[in-house]
């Protein structure tokens, strides 16, 4: 257990950041699931709308250091290609 004042503060800060990061990551997963569900339901319009909403969430995740930029790009690319195939 931490004894120094700075170590105790670091523990408090880490707990707060962890909670925020969990929320953000969960939000990203939810948006991705919405796109996947729309694709599964073969609803092109809903899938495109959901895809439009997931893009800034993934970008924000990269910006905040939650996910690697290549991982976000990969997810976005795969979702986009699935939506495009559905529209065609």
Residues in the chain: 88
pLDDT tens by residue, 7-48: 999 999 999 999 999 999 999 999 999 999 999 999 999 999
What's the pTM value of the predicted model, to 2 decimals? 0.85
In 3D, which of 82, 86, 85, 72 has the Cα closest to residue 24?
72
Q: Where are the domains of the chain?
A: 5-87
| Cα–Cα distance, 50 to 86 (Å, whole number) | 13
Q: Which CATH superfamily is domain 5-87 in?
A: Ribosomal protein S20 (1.20.58.110)
């Amino acid at each position: 257990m931490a004894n120094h004042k700075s170590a105790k503060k670091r523990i408090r800060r880490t707990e707060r950041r962890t909670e925020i990061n969990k929320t953000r990551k969960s939000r990203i997963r939810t948006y991705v699931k919405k796109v996947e569900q729309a694709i599964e339901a073969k609803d092109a319009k809903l899938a495109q709308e959901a895809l439009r909403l997931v893009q800034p969430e993934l970008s924000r995740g990269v910006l905040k250091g939650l996910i690697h930029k290549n991982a976000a790009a990969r997810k976005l690319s795969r979702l986009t290609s699935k939506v495009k195939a559905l529209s065609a």
